[in-house]
Chain A
Amino acid sequence: DVSDAAARFCPKRSGSGMDREEVSTGTTIMAVEYDGGVVIGADSRTTTGAYIANRVTDKLTPIHERIFCCRSGSAADTQAIAEVVAYQLAPLVETAAHLFKASCYRYREELTAGILVAGWDRRRGGQVYCVPIGGMLVRQPVSVGGSGSTYIYGFMDSNYKPNMTKEQCLELTASALTLAMERDGSSGGVVRLASISESGVERRVILGNQLPKIVSTH
């Protein structure tokens, strides 16, 4: 992968911070329930210290046909947990969320993983479950995660209303992620969105120059 290649090209690099730091998805992720499904979104930056190892990362990982997870924290940890859960095949969103929680809680001392599990199933429709660092599990109508999430709590609290439509959810997620990416150095790149409902998964990407324009205050 990228950090191996970089190490091979410059093996004597010492003070750059790259070889000391773990690859991390310091990130902003978000998931919103609406009547009929869920909308999830994430930025696309993966960093090793101050170096951006991947600027077009896909942090929206499918676990099952209509269940996705948004990954934040250590890239290796979250990829490993997602593989374990996908292997155990979970047709209900709640089951998938519990499987994540089981891994995150059991190995809480060794892991750094904050995950949002979101999807649609026939029993309960669209659901969002939050499994933060430490391994707690809670269902929420809207949730944000990652290092960039602190900057958008206020925006989310004031702009989220229950019973929004799918388009409103997509707009809210895109705006919130844009605001976070603007302020958080570890979040950036493109905005990846996915909406999951009975009819399937619809993915879209918003490139940097197409992000909603925010009037800058600086």
Chain B
Amino acid sequence: MERRCLDAQFKGVSTGVSKNNYVSSKTINKVIQVHDRIFCCMAGSLADAQAVLKAAKFHLSFHSVQMESQPQVIAAASVLKDLCYKNKDELQAGFITAGWDRKKGPQIYVVSLGGMLISQQVTIGGSGSTYIYGYVDAKYRPDMSREECLQFATNALALAMGRDNVSGGVAHLVVITESGAEHIVVPGNKLPKFNDE
């Protein structure tokens, strides 16, 4: 999930990976860096997502060499969108691309399963996201500070992980600003506790 607050970007994902009902790993990092200030969150089939991201990373670094400058966030998102749309029959992967570039500042783009690309201020995705639509709708404000945003993202992830059986483990958060990217990891037992029986 991501949100945009003032001049920073937040991305957060939980780390569970499962095949049918077996959780194959509790500590996968689903937030992948594709460039200095551009990160992608994976959702769907992680095998597909990893393959797509590997190709996208290569495309993007080649693109930035050709343009002789840092790639724009929309460039990264478009690369992903092309791959997802052209191979939509074989792939089952969705992405949230977020980052900072000099032209438009912080941005968030969503590439959905079939290859649609849209820009949003705040977005959530993945199987656990259905449980937090209400929470995100109620609590998001466009003018939050960095700390408020971080708390909001952590809370939302904790609530989703509490309800979704295939989400869980550790929460990875990345804060992306003009000055760089900071990776924050919150282990399961340090997440905020709520009233979920």
A interface residues (Cβ-Cβ under 8 A, vs B) = 140-141, 150-162, 175-176, 179-180, 182-183, 214-218
Contacts and interface: CB of A to CB of B under 8 A. Distances in A.
Interface residues of B, number: 25
Contacts of B130: 150-151
A97 to B, nearest CB: 17
B62 interface: no
Contacts of A180: 134
B136 A157 contact: no
A176 B137 CA distance: 10
A154 B159 contact: yes
Nearest to B123: A217
Main secondary structure of the interface of B (DSSP, over half): helix
A214 B197 CA distance: 26
B140 interface: yes
B59 interface: no
B155 A151 contact: no
Interface-central residue, A141, A152, A154, A180, by most chain B CB under 10 Å: A154
Given A157-B163, A217-B122, A175 B138 contact: yes
Contacts of A176: 134
Nearest to B140: A217
B138 A183 contact: no
Interface string B143-179: 0000000000001100110110000000000000000
B196 A157 contact: yes
A162 B196 CA distance: 12
A217 B121 contact: yes
Contact of A158 (B122, B137, B159): B159
Nearest to B196: A157
Contacts of A157: 159, 162-163, 194-196
B131 A153 contact: yes
Contacts of B136: 154, 217
